[in-house]
Amino acid sequence: MDPSVARAFLAAAAVFLIDIASKAAVVAALPYGSSEPWLPVLNIVHWRNEGAAFSFLHDAGGWQRLFFSAVAVAASVVFAVLIRRPQTGRPQRLAFGLLLGGALGNLLDRLARGAVVDWIDVRWQSFYWPAFNVADIGITLGAVLMLVCELRGGKTETKPS
């Protein structure tokens, strides 16, 4: 196996495992809806999001759980296939690994709890960012890395066999 393929799946596993462990710790330690200050700009909270990013469709009546779960399964399959594809460059593989780990972390949460646990709350003066989790960080970093790769002309960096 190409080492960059292994690294991509390792990145996916790291995001997934850190995500589920951190969510389990928050659920065990904080009652739903509570908030604990941690740093001047960071609170640890226990929120649940039945929708997607920024609570999109969170109050849609329940159908969104199945829809977002199906999207996560389909995306995870696509990411896994793209990681293994020989034409995929190393940076893109890492991006797909981060996306895969994030998608699987939020999928497990959605299937096990009916909603995604968000626990990182960033606030500074009047600035507020919606709560998020480690899976969301993996998804965001993967998307940014893909964007950077595309802005660089979509060039792939493959290692000769």
Q: How many CB atoms lie within 10 A of CB 56?
A: 11
At 161, the pLDDT band (50, 70, 90 cuts) reads very low
Single out the catalytic residue among 19, 109, 121, 136.
Answer: 136
- Is residue 11 domain-resident? yes
User: Does residue 160 sit within a domain?
Assistant: no
156 belongs to a structural domain: no
- Its domain, for residue 44, covers 3-51+62-151
**Stretch 49-69: mean pLDDT, rounded?**
65
pLDDT the model gives residue 66: 77
Instruction: Report if residue 84 sits inside a domain.
Output: yes
Give the whole-angstrom CA distance, residue 72 versus residue 69. 5
| Number of structural domains in the chain | 1
Please, which residues bridge with residue 42 across strands? 39, 122
Tell whether 23 is covered by a domain: yes
* pLDDT confidence of residue 125: 86
In a domain, 159, yes or no: no
118 as an active site residue: the answer is yes
What CA–CA distances, in Å, run from 82 to 67, 91, 102, 137, 159? 23, 12, 16, 20, 16
pLDDT range class, residue 51, cuts 50, 70, 90: low
Cα 133 from Cα 122, distance rounded (Å): 11
Catalytic entry in 19, 109, 118, 121? 118
The 10s digit of each residue's pLDDT in 105-123 is 999 999 999 889 999 999 9
User: Is 100 contained in some domain?
Assistant: yes
Clarify whether 136 is annotated catalytic. yes
Instruction: Please check whether residue 144 lies inside any domain of the structure.
Output: yes
pLDDT exceeds cutoff 70 at 61: no
- Rounded Cα–Cα distance for residues 48 and 119 (Å): 9
Q: Give pLDDT tens digits for 118-138.
A: 999 999 888 888 899 999 999
Mean pLDDT, range 59-74, rounded to an integer: 76
Tell me the percentage of the chain whose pLDDT exceeds 90: 66
Percent of the chain residues topping a pLDDT of 70: 86
pLDDT at 158: 52
Give this prediction's pTM.
0.86
